[in-house]
Amino acid sequence: MKPFLSVVCANLRGSNAKRRQDKQTNKREVNAGQPVFIKSHHDRSLVFADSLLLKTLCGSMSTEQLQSRVNPSLHSSPGGCLSLTFEADFSNTERHTGFRAFYTVQDVDECWHSDLKCSHFCQNYIGGYSCSCKPGYHLSEDRHTCIVNCTEERFGSGVLTPPGSPGPYYENAHCSYTLTVDEGEQLILSFIGEFDVESRDGRCVDSLTIKTDSATFGPFCGQEAPAPINTAARRIKVLFRTDQGGTNQGFSLSYNTKLMECPGIVTANSILSPQKRVYTKGDTVTVQCVTGYSVDSATKKTFESTCLRSGKWSPVYSCELVDCGIPEIKEPDLIALTEEDPLTTYKQNISFRCLSEHYKLHGHDSFTCNASGQWETIEHLLSPQVDLPRCIPVCGMNKQTFSAGRVFGGEDAKLGQIPWQLLTKQPNRGGASLISDRWAITAAHVVVGQETKTLMFYGGMIDSLDQNAVKMETEKIIIHPGYKVENPYQTNYDNDIALVKMSARVPLSTNIMPVCLPEKSNGPVMEGKLGTVSGFGGTSENPLRSRYLQYGHVKEYSEVPCFDTTLKVTDNMFCAGGDEGVDTCKGDAGGPLVIPLLGRGSPETPYRLKGIVSWGPAKCGDTNFKGYYTKVENYLDWIRETMETN
């Protein structure tokens, strides 16, 4: 079988176009003319619209049959193609006449058939269509939608109504009216008559909005007219927006003029003096910021402002919320704010914390920003010089407790058991007690003559040869002014006390911590308690020195002399010793005597430095003789004053 293909594609339009207001499209038609005589079952004619098969024809049909059954369906889509395929084989036993087809091109009425609707009117023409609008409207950029663009400028007084008034206002309206009056005057707006702007479920479908340079009124809609508006402006914009439907009646806006008035507020967060109902040109007021606010974040609370002809105040300054700022922290490595970025304005609170567990906060920890821009506690204002909280070392705590031993002939101390014990080796071997992270206390005779030199102290260890010991260089050595050296052999130990300031802060840990200073007492120095004395001095095995830290328990002897001596004994000394030869010896001088007994300290009962190893009999460990200790509580004022001033 050989196919014969005929394709009909046309873009022509006929002249018998009809005009309607609905959109139409173009179509092409093929009409069969003469009867079809295709007898063979193997011969046929196929008609396609684009790729869609419309009809398969064979056999014999009259013109009337074609017109009624076939032709009505033989048309293309708008702008499309019709194709005709004829197929015949070689088995014809008789001659057939075939067929005859005619094709035409017809114009389509877009106004009738198209989905693109014109808002108002549609005009069809050969080859296309166009939209047009009712009077008062014009086509938008999409060439289909009719809109109202009612931009207008007015001066003075009058009445403003929406486009289409009287009667329903126009749809698709985008109105912008500019109303202006002379300088020194302001516009007063009031709605008169009916107010009817479309709304639905409490929301504006259409809207009326009034704007000045400094305020916006609206949007308004519904059927309740807004209250009169004193715009306080000589130039305003009235914006009216509508959608595509509705039959609402709109509004009548009366606009009139009056002398310009200044508003009853100059700046936020302030009050005016004098108070008046109306302020006009030339009025001058005192503006006072309310509590907690100040002028431009400064300490100034008031300023004067004058009402100008334009209805504006001048000058105008802001009343800003008072900000106390972040206090300057002098030791940021020890103390910090509890919050990293706290609020610091009026009535806000800040608090402090120590960065190390080995320190505790001294002073007020919480402050509130007051209306004057200063931090204060419940009791008083914060003064950076004296009232900022400080982190001071935790004192009188040790790592753990163990059973008692002896200094002369005693047992070794454990690491962290006596963390305030210090040792100096040159030029004189002696002990000291750490009393803060910068200061130590010792006997004057240990450091006398070294005031202008730099000594080395060791701490945080129990082995005097420990290479990992904390090393501390001295910055200042301050001997009590009452200490006197009467001869080279030291015949007077009165005021045998000295303070040593280290050149850098001592790194506190569980192995090196300060001991607490004592409290003044009216009775016995040791309060009738057993105490503990420690040092790296002589032992029974080595009367000159001990490699390891030793300690022993002693008690106070107040009624009998420690031993017979020609040296002067004063009220700045007290006698103490232990049983079975427990005693201090050469090399222990300057070391601590603390209460309570080692192993019985607690946060409620910290270890306190009651005595400093000072002097004793020539022979150590004699059960009949005891040693003398400097009475630390007699020097508390001198200690604190010296530390504060140095």
H-type alpha helices, 63-215: 63-65, 110-113
Q: How confident is the model at residue 539 (pLDDT cuts 50, 70, 90)?
A: low
Q: Which of 548, 544, 526, 540 is nearest to 593 (CA)?
A: 526
Give 70 or 637, the one with higher predicted confidence. Answer: 637
Query: Which contacts of 447-450 are long-range, i.e. CB under 8 A and separated by 24 or more positions?
Result: 447/477, 447/479, 447/498, 447/500, 447/590, 448/479, 448/483, 448/485, 448/498, 450/477
pLDDT digits (tens, 9 = 90+) for 351-367: 999 999 999 998 888 89
* CA atoms of 392 and 76, how far apart (whole Å): 98
HSE (CB half, 13 Å, CA atoms) of 375? 21
pLDDT at 379: 66
Range 283-295 burial, b when 16+ CB lie within 10 A, else e = bebebbbeebbbb
Tell me which of 33-47, 98-112, 502-516 is least confident.
Answer: 33-47
| Residues 130, 135, 139, 145, CA torsion sign | negative
Residue 92, classed as helix, strand or coil, is coil
136: DSSP letter = T
pLDDT digits (tens, 9 = 90+) for 305-323: 999 988 889 999 999 999 9
Residue 42, classed as helix, strand or coil, is coil
What CATH code is assigned to 2-112? 2.60.120
* CA atoms of 539 and 553, how far apart (whole Å): 15
pLDDT at 476: 96
Residue 345 has pLDDT above 90, yes or no: yes
Q: How confident is the model at residue 544 (pLDDT cuts 50, 70, 90)?
A: low
Range 391-423 burial, b when 16+ CB lie within 10 A, else e = bbbbbbbbeeeeebbbbbbbbbbbbbbbbbbbb
Residue 469 has pLDDT above 80, yes or no: yes
Residue 22 has pLDDT above 50, yes or no: no
* CA atoms of 182 and 170, how far apart (whole Å): 32
pLDDT digits (tens, 9 = 90+) for 220-279: 999 999 999 988 888 999 999 998 878 899 999 999 998 888 889 999 999 999 999 989
Residue 51 has pLDDT above 90, yes or no: no
107 is in an annotated binding site: yes
- In degrees rounded to 5, what are phi and psi of residue 635? -120, 15
H-type alpha helices, 351-451: 444-447
Strands 44-49 and 128-132: unpaired
Please provide the average confidence, as pLDDT, over all residues in the chain. 84
Mean pLDDT of 451-457: 94
Give 1 or 32, the one with higher predicted confidence. Answer: 32
Two tokens, residue 186: 């302001």
Residue 561 has pLDDT above 90, yes or no: no
pLDDT at 559: 67
Give 37 or 303, the one with higher predicted confidence. Answer: 303
* CA atoms of 102 and 28, how far apart (whole Å): 12
* CA atoms of 563 and 557, how far apart (whole Å): 11
Could you tell me the CATH superfamily of domain 270-321? Complement Module, domain 1 (2.10.70.10)
Residue 624 has pLDDT above 70, yes or no: no
Query: Residue 645: enclosing H or E segment and its boundaries?
Result: helix 636-645
Residue 640, classed as helix, strand or coil, is helix
| Residues 297, 298, 301, 307, CA torsion sign | negative
Residue 530 has pLDDT above 80, yes or no: yes
pLDDT at 312: 87
Two tokens, residue 17: 């176009």
Mean pLDDT of 510-522: 93
CATH class, 421-643 region = mainly beta
629 is in an annotated binding site: no
Could you tell me the CATH superfamily of domain 335-393? Complement Module, domain 1 (2.10.70.10)
Q: How confident is the model at residue 286 (pLDDT cuts 50, 70, 90)?
A: very high
CB atoms near residue 333 (< 10 Å): 10
Q: What is the largest CA-CA distance in the chain?
A: 167
105 is in an annotated binding site: no
Close Cβ partners of 629 (under 8 Å, ≥ 6 residues apart): 573, 574, 575, 576, 593, 610, 611, 612, 613, 614
What are the residue boundaries of the structural domains of the chain, listed by start?
2-112, 148-259, 270-321, 335-393, 421-643
Mean pLDDT of 52-57: 85
Tell me which of 278-292, 369-383, 583-597 is least confident.
Answer: 369-383
Residue 27 has pLDDT above 90, yes or no: no
Residue 406 has pLDDT above 70, yes or no: no
Mean pLDDT of 469-484: 95
29 is in an annotated binding site: no
C-beta separation of 309 from 290 below 8 A: no
* CA atoms of 154 and 157, how far apart (whole Å): 8
89 is in an annotated binding site: yes
Residue 481, classed as helix, strand or coil, is coil
Tell me which of 372-386, 471-485, 581-595 is least confident.
Answer: 372-386
Mean pLDDT of 60-80: 80
365 is in an annotated binding site: no
pLDDT digits (tens, 9 = 90+) for 122-171: 888 887 888 998 887 888 888 888 888 788 999 999 999 998 888 899 88
128 is in an annotated binding site: yes
Domains 335-393 and 421-643 share a fold: no
**Does CATH number 3.40.50.300 belong to domain 148-259?**
no
pLDDT at 411: 62
**CA-to-CA separations, 35 to 42, 53, 57, 62, 332, in angstroms, rounded:** 18, 21, 11, 5, 110
Query: Residue 639: enclosing H or E segment and its boundaries?
Result: helix 636-645
Strands 174-180 and 151-155: parallel
* CA atoms of 108 and 276, how far apart (whole Å): 76
pLDDT at 591: 94
635: DSSP letter = G
* CA atoms of 364 and 372, how far apart (whole Å): 20
